[in-house]
Amino acid sequence: MTPLVLDVFLEAVQTPVGQLMRHDDGSLAFRYVTDELPHPISLSLPLRTAPYGDAETRGFFSNLLFENAQRDQIMQRYGIDFSDIVGLLYHLGADCPGAISCVPQGAGPAKQPGDLTTDYDVLDDAALHALMTSLRNHQRVPDGTPDPSPVAGVQGKVAVTQLPDGRLTRPKPGLNVPTTHILKVPRRTEMRTVAHEHMLMTIMTQVQNHPVAATEIIGTGNLQGLLITRFDRTITGTQITRLHQEDFCQALGLGPSLKYQRGGTPDRAFSAKAVGALLENTESPGRARQAFLEITLANLMLGNTDNHAKNHALLYTGAHPILAPVYDVVPTVIDSTVIHQLSFDIGTANMTDDITENDITAFAQALGFPRIAPALRRRLSKLMQDIVAQIDQHQGPERKRIGDAIAEQSKWIVAAMGADISVPERDLVVINRAQ
């Protein structure tokens, strides 16, 4: 295999921060080329002079590649293998997630800030309708439409920018400028998921104190989308800039196939112990630990058992990262086609209805709490009460299943916590267990 070197940039830095290398045997390496950086590109790749080997390099950079039509097209067009991460990033690395980019050596920075007054084309009503229709029907943008900022996920998604007056835009062709929102449009048969995710994101905002990505429903009837504000952007006047972020797979040095604990090993997995160690490296470990515990219990009570490692992230606003806002809160348990196994174990339990008080205590201790002190127990009881209070508010054809999911999940969490909270009886949601 021909050796290949890519320059790695951060948007705020005008010279390369490192080099990504593919050796002639196909192995990967990454090395920093400067130590004058605001922060490392990953907690899994701290600043040092020695290069990182294949396992560490692959763990971070493999997560920059999305499983989408654009990647498949590049693989077919150039005959690139799925495992050739550097070869794929040679073609796709100009717009990686966050502020990072990987470009051919000597090409210069790929990303630049955007100006709302000059760098974006407004989507009129007809163009927005066509875009949403294509996302709904084909899970991709219309043929011939440039997509400079692809996003990950199963649903049809597209990156857009919203102007102060509310109009949506796309970056002008040839400009690699930031977007401000993600627009998700599900298939026609799954249109209710738009309202469902918006409901859960709203509840998550109400019951715990950590920031949650703002959502808004656009469209009506059988053509609706969820507009999600990106948390890795800053807007100053008319200028938009990117903030570097990394998901927990990257921060833990795990490839995307290890986003669930069940895919890993005791030493290399998305586990409570690994998360606890990760949060110790954030700007405010105690605050991050508290937030992650509350977010986890809220996710489970709201029916989201799919809060895997790529649905949690760190955001770099200074030398040390902070826990990113909550995103992708979806009621997985109302989907009867998937297994409802937890993304990571709570103590020894990998299903919600198996969680015991000892499991909750073990989970908290793995995150770094010495014990569940009375003040912490009171705080968690308040969170549970606030979520249970939502159940009776969810009635009718669009909302009932959300109420059912919350009731089913809450009864197990409330019991495990030994809390004196009455959970309303609702129709049971069928919990699918792994065989």
Say if residue 153's pLDDT is above 90. no
Under 8 Å between Cβ of 402 and 330? no
**Would you place residue 146 in the very low, low, confident or very high pLDDT band (cuts 50, 70, 90)?**
low
- Please report where in the chains the tokens 């509840």 appear, as a residue: 203
- Alpha-carbon 119 to chain mean position: 27
pLDDT at residue 144 in the model: 74
pLDDT at residue 3 in the model: 95
Say if residue 148's pLDDT is above 60. no
**Would you place residue 235 in the very low, low, confident or very high pLDDT band (cuts 50, 70, 90)?**
very high
CB atoms closer than 10 angstroms to residue 174: 8
User: Pairing between strand 4-10 and 100-104?
Assistant: antiparallel
| Chain mean pLDDT for the chain | 93
Burial 178-203 (b: 16+ CB within 10 A, else e): bbbbbbbbbeeeebbbbebbbbbbeb
Question: Cα angle at 203 between 197 and 206, to 5 degrees?
Answer: 145
- Alpha-carbon 408 to chain mean position: 26
pLDDT at residue 68 in the model: 67
Q: Which of 6-15, 51-60, 142-151, 417-426 has the lowest mean pLDDT?
A: 142-151
Under 8 Å between Cβ of 330 and 401? no
pLDDT at residue 82 in the model: 83
What is the tens place of the pLDDT at every residue in 360-395?
Answer: 999 999 999 999 999 999 999 999 999 999 999 999
Segment (H or E) for 32: strand 28-32
pTM of this structure:
0.94
Say if residue 424's pLDDT is above 60. yes
pLDDT at residue 135 in the model: 93
In the structure encoding, which two tokens stand for residue 352, read together? Answer: 């919600």
Say if residue 69's pLDDT is above 80. no
**Would you place residue 155 in the very low, low, confident or very high pLDDT band (cuts 50, 70, 90)?**
low
Contacts of 380 (CB under 8 A, 6+ apart): 293, 294, 297, 372, 417, 419
Say if residue 154's pLDDT is above 90. no
Three-state secondary structure along 375-410? HHHHHHHHHHHHHHCCHHHCCHHHHHHHHHHHHHHH
Quote the DSSP letter at residue 168: E
Question: Cα angle at 318 between 43 and 258, to 5 degrees?
Answer: 25
Quote the DSSP letter at residue 231: S
